[in-house]
Amino acid sequence: MSTATFQLQALGRMTPLIQRARDRSARLGRPVLASLTAHLGPAPDYDPSSVIAQPDAFIWEQPQRGFALAAAGHATRLVAAGESRFADIRAQLTHLLDEAATLQDSGAALRPAPLSFAGFAFDPAHPDDVAWFGFPEALAIVPRLLVARSGAHLFFTANLMVDAATDPATALEDLRADAERLLAPASPEAATRTSRLLDPGLEARASWDDSVTGLTSRIAAGDAEKVVLARRVQVESDGPVDVRNVLQRLRERYRECTVFALRAGEDACFLGATPEMLVALSGREVRADCLAGSAARGATDAEDAAIGAALLADDKERREHAIVARSLHESLSSLCHDIREPEMPGLRRFANVQHLHTPLEATTDGRRHVLELVQRLHPSAATAGLPREASLSLIRDHEPFSRGWYAGPIGWIDAEGGGEFAVALRSALVRDDVASLYAGCGIVPGSDPGREYAESQLKLQAMLWALDANPEPAS
């Protein structure tokens, strides 16, 4: 595939779409979306991480599945806040698409287009801090340009907000110029930089121990069944963090995870490689993951199997997992029927950690939007605790920082309301030369501060490795 061929055969068909959108805009008195999706053919070497330096860049990649989305720019940005943020984004997006002028090639039926992407803060009731400037409580973006890769094939979408004054020729030239940047070969990698983990200090460790002890006391008193407590650490680089290199390292080592990134402004990017799918909806078919209970990987196959067997038999980890699985089942039951899950958890293994895992499948009770499911499931018992409101209140009391988008839902939505959302775990907020990393642990009766701290260190290793940072100081 060449960019020139793409321009002639694909983008040229935007002209009648823009005209249709202009006419519709004149009748409605407001801008209208024009959207074209085309099948570009085989391009197995396309690197989605190459777009990350562009404005409003979004990357979603599942290397093991051979599926990736890479977007740049925006046709429109939708924002919302507060408890109604999921419903508000859904309503705005539905209204926009109902009025849109769209064309999708018969060979571009990967999913109903156009696709949008969205991310949400973990807890809008916990006041934000300056670290998360540029990441609102709820954000959905219809990208200006998007490339989807499925296997070896690429699909391209161009989106444009059109009003009665839009000139089709000028708009088309601007789109072609942007498409050349999106589809251009990746620039050479930047020089290797040195990174180091900043020592959180003894006070941070003491505060963690006190919080775990305090939470176990509150749980024993019946205030909650489980609470997820998070830590934040920081990595400093000797120059701006090479985000593209971090994404490539995550992709290579965590192929079974979902690698994601969203750029906000020139110097901020939220990225990670999460093992946990919150929910996926295709038609009426639903998939969700219960991932709770953690252990390290072994140095040999025999050691790895022994650690996995011990995890499966561990009473504390099994109780924590059962809480999450029960909560997930109950949340899905309000919107779905025919919920299917194995009787016992299995193991899901990643490069540096293994988890107890229960996959769930279900069928919705009618036509549903993926954000309805996201709203019902977030925050899950795996990221907040149980009961939900009680655990959130305790988190606000014990965490001295805002989680921002950490542990919030991030994903994409198709034109019919299907899509996939992951839990933004194993993640970092990068701002220029500093990266803030987050990891959480489920606190239940019997939780030990030292053991939970060690588990959080284990979870931080994915991003520490990707950032090429020194190991955390021993404690």
Residues 212 and 327 in one domain: yes
pLDDT at 44: 64
Task: Determine, yes or no, domain membership for 271.
Answer: no
- How many independent structural domains does the chain possess? 2
Residues 292 and 170 in one domain: no
- Tally Cβ neighbours within 10 Å of residue 376: 18
Residues 388 and 447 in one domain: yes
Task: Determine, yes or no, domain membership for 72.
Answer: yes
Task: Determine, yes or no, domain membership for 189.
Answer: no
The helix-helix angle for 243-253 and 449-466 (nearest 10°) equals 110
Task: Determine, yes or no, domain membership for 54.
Answer: yes
* Host H or E run for residue 141: strand 138-142
Write out the residue range of the structural domain in which residue 346 sits. Answer: 195-250+285-466
End position of a domain, from candidates 132, 155, 183: 183
pLDDT at 1: 44
Task: Determine, yes or no, domain membership for 303.
Answer: yes
Residues 103 and 222 in one domain: no
Residues 216 and 176 in one domain: no
pLDDT at 191: 58
Residues 113 and 19 in one domain: yes
End position of a domain, from candidates 183, 205, 224: 183
| Closest of 213, 224, 324, 334 to residue 278, by C-alpha | 324
Residues 216 and 166 in one domain: no
Whether omega before 379 lies within 30 degrees of 0, making that bond cis, reads: yes
pLDDT at 242: 93
pLDDT at 177: 86
Task: Determine, yes or no, domain membership for 277.
Answer: no
How far apart, in whole angstroms, are the C-alpha atoms of residue 352 and residue 90? 37
For residue 8 the two structure tokens come to 């002639």
- Greatest extent of the chain over all pairs of C-alpha atoms, in Å: 70
Burial code (b: 16+ CB inside 10 Å, e: under 16) for 142-157 equals bbbbbbbbeeebbbbb
Residues 153 and 209 in one domain: no
Q: Residue 207 is part of a domain; what is its CATH number?
A: 3.60.120.10
* Host H or E run for residue 37: strand 32-42
Residues 206 and 92 in one domain: no
pLDDT at 470: 62
Task: Determine, yes or no, domain membership for 418.
Answer: yes
Cβ(387)–Cβ(396) below 8 Å: no
pLDDT at 108: 52
Residues 335 and 236 in one domain: yes
Cβ(140)–Cβ(93) below 8 Å: yes
Question: Tokens 């906000």 label which residue?
Answer: 264
Question: Tokens 């650490």 label which residue?
Answer: 233
End position of a domain, from candidates 152, 183, 214: 183
How far apart, in whole angstroms, are the C-alpha atoms of residue 400 and residue 466? 26
How far apart, in whole angstroms, are the C-alpha atoms of residue 380 and residue 374? 10
Series of mean pLDDT values for 10-residue runs along the chain (475 residues):
51 89 96 92 78 92 93 96 96 97 75 94 83 94 93 88 94 88 68 81 90 95 95 94 94 94 92 95 94 88 93 90 89 92 91 90 95 96 93 94 96 97 96 95 92 92 90 45
Task: Determine, yes or no, domain membership for 257.
Answer: no
Question: Tokens 């807890």 label which residue?
Answer: 123
| Closest of 420, 43, 399, 446 to residue 225, by C-alpha | 446
Mapping DSSP to helix (H, G, I), strand (E, B) and coil, where does residue 121 land? coil
pLDDT at 190: 57
Residues 310 and 434 in one domain: yes
For residue 124 the two structure tokens come to 């809008």
Residues marked as catalytic:
226, 276
pLDDT at 11: 80
Residues 402 and 440 in one domain: yes
pLDDT at 189: 58
pLDDT at 474: 38
